[in-house]
Structure 1
Amino acid sequence: MFKETLQHYSSMIEEYIARIPWGKDILNESMAYSLVGGGKRIRPVLALASAEAVGGNPEKVLPAAAALELIHTYSLIHDDLPALDNDDYRRGRLSNHKVFGEANAILAGDGLLTYAFEFLTEPSLGQPGQQLRVIREVAVAAGKNGMVGGQVLDIAGEGKQLSLAEIEEIHKGKTGALLTVSARLGGILAGAAEQEIEALTRYAQALGLAFQIKDDILDVVGDSETLGKPVGSDLRQGKSTYVSLLGLEEATRQLHSQTEKAQAALKLLGEKSAFLSELAVYIEQRQH
């Protein structure tokens, strides 16, 4: 049942993305190249599932869910640039800058970020108050106090031996902020009660740490063909990770602990949150 539901949500996102009108110029071509290049679509799926878990209609959340994928894709384009992670491959294909050049890749990322906020202002998304709240929360999650801030801390930590608390601070911003706002967005736009939104928040915060721990593990034990990107990049860049600090066995235990923590946060939502609970296990067990 989980796989069928995941496929259903993923298909909703893919069909919506397929309907995005793109121009014929190199900017649009570059933006579309990275956006339609596959990926797990975890953030928009999380938004749709969270909306449904609190009794909402996931169809009505689609524009906002797609906006999350645009923001995530922009961050990947920029992450791959020579000035940051300097990765040549993403999602099994050449990175954006390897195809379109560094300048166009930077601008494609900029274009996707700003285009996302067009999606977030779709009148169909619901009550103006809810929509304004979502726009603000997404801006915070994507910006200096969220994803971008986490990336800066990540760069500053290269070549240093960081503590577990410092690593968690990096990833609460770099990875966790956008995952957390994905769940909150779904709940807010579905008209959830504040205690339901808080439950989704606790769930997504644990999910975000689990996601990053798993990424760190896969960077050590995964293979490039399955991942669709190079492995061992953290080691080459001198980054402290959960694995480098704790060892593979303890990092795996931490991963399972965060998965259980995420599942425990869903108790308030009852049976409607079954998919979200299984999604946490899926993230723990993923191989890419």
Structure 2
Amino acid sequence: MTGQPSLATAMREVAAAVEAELDRLLPRPAGPTARLDEAMRYAALGGGKRLRALLAVAGGDLFGAPRQGSLRVAAAIEMLHAYSLIHDDLPCMDNDDLRRGKPTVHKAFDEAAAVLAGDGLQALAFEILADPATHEDAGIRAELALGLARAAGPRGMVGGQAIDLAAEIRTAAGRPLDYAEIAHLQALKTGALIAYAAESGAILGRAGVEDRAVLRDYAADLGLAFQIADDILDHEGSVAEMGKAVGKDAGAGKATFVGLLGPEGARAKARALTNSACDRLSRFGPAAAVLQELAEFVITRRS
């Protein structure tokens, strides 16, 4: 991403490069684990916006990190994200049959294969971060692994999913979450991994404390705007656009921003968050143009 490319160009370049890196790093189906290997590749390859990967690579570019290291980190993040989607789609969680326009992993294979594929992707993500090929400095590798563990764990993505499941029970009992509670839920379930992705490039590039804090704050705004936009699309979008079922959240009594603020109120909040995210990057000047365009993209996308 040299010479300040457009967001569309950057997304294409990074998506293609990360896809190639995932293809290289994921095990080829062979021997007695062939079905597991196939399920892992089915989940991680050939789909998604690669938004988290772009955040990692763009953050790395901002601070001069070697591109190969950024791509390895981006691939690890995408594997972790794919694992979370596999498990979220299971019958014991959200019970979805469609993801990215194709059958979910437990439908294409079976539930046991889906659980194991998710487990395998999660473990492989940390193996990649710990490998000297990602960065020659063991301290940097440890910091990357620690950050991903925190983003994915009980005070991150997994904790957010637990709160989300509990919220359905609360809503059914007539005690729905308020705005602050929904924002906290989504800051964990969706936002924590997005924030890590943005900061990971800064870790690779040995950015200072203040610069890293700016990226974290930017990503916090971005992650919340992304989730609000997702809620709007779930409310207004189609299966053809989204590549997955729509309208399920409201039907299941899930806590959503649209349910609390209404469609127009949700749109206004997403716009305010996007403006805030872009303003936070002003200290970096034109070098952060792709990250600023990305903030705009998350609230105007149709899938």
Q: TM-score range by the shorter chain?
A: over 0.9
Which of 76, 92, 98 in structure 2 is aligned with 1:89?
A: 98
* Paired residues of 2:128 and 2:134 also in contact (CA < 8 A): no
Q: Matches of 2:201 and 2:28 in 1, distance apart?
A: 26
The residue correspondences of 1:1-288 to structure 2 (distance < 5 A) are 1-20=6-25, 21-24=27-30, 25-126=34-135, 127-159=137-169, 160=171, 161-288=176-303
Could you tell me the TM-score, scaled by structure 1's length?
0.98
Tell me how far 1:125 sits from its aligned partner: 2.4
Q: Matches of 2:210 and 2:262 in 1, distance apart?
A: 37
Could you tell me the TM-score, scaled by structure 2's length?
0.93
Tell me how far 1:193 sits from its aligned partner: 1.4
* Paired residues of 1:37 and 1:91 also in contact (CA < 8 A): no
Tell me how far 1:54 sits from its aligned partner: 2.2
Tell me how far 1:93 sits from its aligned partner: 0.3
- Of stretches 47-56 and 136-145 in structure 1, the one that deviates more from structure 2 is 47-56
Q: Matches of 1:34 and 1:57 in 2, distance apart?
A: 27
Q: How many residues align?
A: 288
* Paired residues of 1:49 and 1:58 also in contact (CA < 8 A): no
Q: Matches of 1:57 and 1:6 in 2, distance apart?
A: 18
Tell me the SS of whatever aligns to 1:158.
Answer: helix
Spell out, residue by residue over 1:225-264, the C-alpha distance to the aligned partner (whole angstroms, 9 max, x if none).
1110000010121112000001000000000011011111
Q: Matches of 2:195 and 2:185 in 1, distance apart?
A: 14
Q: Matches of 2:129 and 2:104 in 1, distance apart?
A: 27
* Paired residues of 1:54 and 1:269 also in contact (CA < 8 A): no
**Residue identity matched to 2:15:** S
* Paired residues of 2:19 and 2:46 also in contact (CA < 8 A): no
Q: Matches of 1:26 and 1:125 in 2, distance apart?
A: 28
* Paired residues of 1:210 and 1:259 also in contact (CA < 8 A): yes
Runs of 4+ in structure 1 deviating by more than 4 angstroms, as ranges, are none
Tell me how far 1:2 sits from its aligned partner: 2.1
Q: What is the aligned-residue RMSD (CA, Å)?
A: 1.0
Structure 2 spans left out of the alignment, 5+ residues: 1-5
Tell me how far 1:60 sits from its aligned partner: 2.3
Partner of 2:3: none
Spell out, residue by residue over 1:71-100, the C-alpha distance to the aligned partner (whole angstroms, 9 max, x if none).
000000011111111110000000100111
* Paired residues of 2:65 and 2:205 also in contact (CA < 8 A): yes
User: Between the two proteins, what is the percent identity of the paired residues?
Assistant: 43
* Paired residues of 1:54 and 1:272 also in contact (CA < 8 A): no
Structure 1 spans left out of the alignment, 5+ residues: none
Tell me the SS of whatever aligns to 1:123.
Answer: coil
Tell me how far 1:56 sits from its aligned partner: 2.5
**Residue identity matched to 2:238:** D
